Amino acid sequence: SYMAEVVVVRNKQVIFKDYINGFPKTSDMEVTYDAIIRLELPKNDGGLILTKNLYLSCDPYMRSRMSRSTEGSYVDSFTPGSPIIGYGVSRVLDSSLPNFKKGDLIWGLINWEEYSLIKDTSSLIKIQHIDVPLSYYTGILGMPGVTAYVGFYEICSPKKGDTVFVSAASGAVGQLVGQFAKLYRCYVVGSAGSKEKVDLLKNKFGFDEAFNYKEEQDLNAALKRYFPNGIDIYFENVGGKMLDEVLRNMRLHGRIAACGMITQYNLDQPEGIQNLFLIVTKSIRMEGFLVFDYYHLYPKFLEMILPLIHEGKITYVEDIVEGLENAPAALIGLYSGKNVGKQVVAIAHE
């Protein structure tokens, strides 16, 4: 009888060490080379897929999973001693599940490791369009893309001519929100944390204006400079001081899509927002949302975004680091703005 050659390999992993407080450090994770994996499905596995992982996504919300779950946690903690989990793009090497087959490409939640045996495939979506960079499925065609789409079109209630402000504007989500708003004929201003990012906003993503918030002594004055008549829509990615100053500059019946508040993720005690009474006096709607509730819109989203990409009407900037061993630094870099565009980790190029 014919004996298939089964490859057994070391499986590089990024292990979450223990729950943390405050800013994450690379030493909160460990890159290990100890695990070994047989590149074959076990017999009678009850339904599994075996994947080779290609791209990992670094996303700000992952910080929450590094804290011990408490009242109000919206995601489960990572398990100390187990790999970090995040969005990624993988090739299916083998499958005993009917809806996946060898050779398929997928995106969804995967372990930070080279190869995975996956039992819970509920988050995995099969990739149908490969005439774009595969890494896009961590960004513009993945979770951040849907976030920008839902946040702008479903939450912001945009009207042509609206004035739109986007914080963390050059990031995975923000760069898309700004471009959507421009396509919608809004006036769009973004803030970001470096000259390089501000240049991208103005010259690559077509924002009408952009500024480096780190160089503004007075955020209120900066916002007044770009929005002399106020802000109709604020796409909120950062929270804290910026939110307080934006509230002062919102227009009557303004809308705030509360997408994230990255300035608060590493604080033990959140900063207080003082200008909230303006929500009453300006009839502002501030609305939070989680992209996870909107994945049913993914086909509709693809239908919209793919032609825009192909026609060059939407562009997307990624910041790709090579190698799983650089994933911890890439992840923590989000919280100091090291990433320029969508932060991706390439594990393997096929």
**Site size for a copy of itself (CB under 8 A):** 34
Q: What would the x/- binding string for a copy of itself be over residues 329 to 348, using CB under 8 A?
A: --------------------
Window contacting ligand NAP (CB under 6 A); options: 216-224, 270-278, 287-295, 299-307: 287-295
- 248: partner contacted, choices a copy of itself, ligand NAP, none (Cβ within 5-8 A by kind): a copy of itself
- 129-134: long-range contacts (C-beta < 8 A, 24 or more apart)? 129/302, 129/306, 130/105, 131/310, 132/306, 132/309, 133/318, 134/54, 134/55, 134/89, 134/105
Query: Pairing relation of β-strands 105-111 and 85-95?
Result: antiparallel
65 sits near ligand NAP (criterion: CB under 6 A): no
156 sits near ligand NAP (criterion: CB under 6 A): no
Q: Which of 244, 287, 292, 242 is nearest to 262 (CA)?
A: 242
273 sits near a copy of itself (criterion: CB under 8 A): yes
223-262 residues in contact with a copy of itself (CB under 8 A) are 239, 243, 248, 258-261
Q: Which is nearer to a copy of itself, 206 or 240 (CB)?
A: 240
Q: What is the distance of C-alpha 163 from the center of its chain?
A: 24
Distance between CA atoms of residues 118 and 102, nearest Å = 14
With CB under 6 A as the contact rule, the residue among 50, 117, 173, 222 that binds ligand NAP is 173
With CB under 6 A as the contact rule, the residue among 117, 260, 301, 318 that binds ligand NAP is 260
Q: In terms of C-beta density within 10 A (0-12 exposed, 13-18 middle, 19 or more buried), how is residue 59 classed?
A: buried
With CB under 6 A as the contact rule, the residue among 85, 141, 238, 324 that binds ligand NAP is 238
* Secondary element (H or E) of residue 176: helix 174-183
Q: Which is nearer to a copy of itself, 19 or 61 (CB)?
A: 61
61 sits near ligand NAP (criterion: CB under 6 A): yes
- Which amino acid is it at 233? I
Window contacting ligand NAP (CB under 6 A); options: 41-49, 113-121, 152-160, 192-200: 192-200
Please state at what angle helix 240-249 crosses helix 219-226, rounded to 10 degrees.
Answer: 40
35 sits near a copy of itself (criterion: CB under 8 A): no
With CB under 8 A as the contact rule, the residue among 8, 36, 221, 276 that binds a copy of itself is 276
Task: Please answer whether residues 166 and 237 qualify as being in contact, where contact means their C-beta atoms are separated by less than 8 angstroms.
Answer: yes
259 sits near ligand NAP (criterion: CB under 6 A): yes
Q: Which is nearer to ligand NAP, 15 or 164 (CB)?
A: 164
Half-sphere exposure of 279 (CA within 13 A, CB side): 13
Q: Which is nearer to ligand NAP, 35 or 302 (CB)?
A: 302
What 8-state DSSP symbol labels residue 37?
E
Q: To the nearest whole angstrom, how small is the minimum distance from the Cβ of residue 322 to a copy of itself?
A: 32
153 sits near ligand NAP (criterion: CB under 6 A): no
123-142 residues in contact with a copy of itself (CB under 8 A) are none
- 287: partner contacted, choices ligand NAP, a copy of itself, none (Cβ within 5-8 A by kind): a copy of itself
Task: Please answer whether residues 224 and 251 qualify as being in contact, where contact means their C-beta atoms are separated by less than 8 angstroms.
Answer: no
Distance between CA atoms of residues 202 and 208, nearest Å = 6
With CB under 6 A as the contact rule, the residue among 134, 291, 346, 347 that binds ligand NAP is 291
Query: CA 96, 99, 103: angle at the middle one, nearest 5?
Result: 75
Task: Please answer whether residues 244 and 221 qualify as being in contact, where contact means their C-beta atoms are separated by less than 8 angstroms.
Answer: no
State the residues that interact with a copy of itself by CB under 8 A. Answer: 71-72, 74, 239, 243, 248, 258-261, 264, 269-290, 293
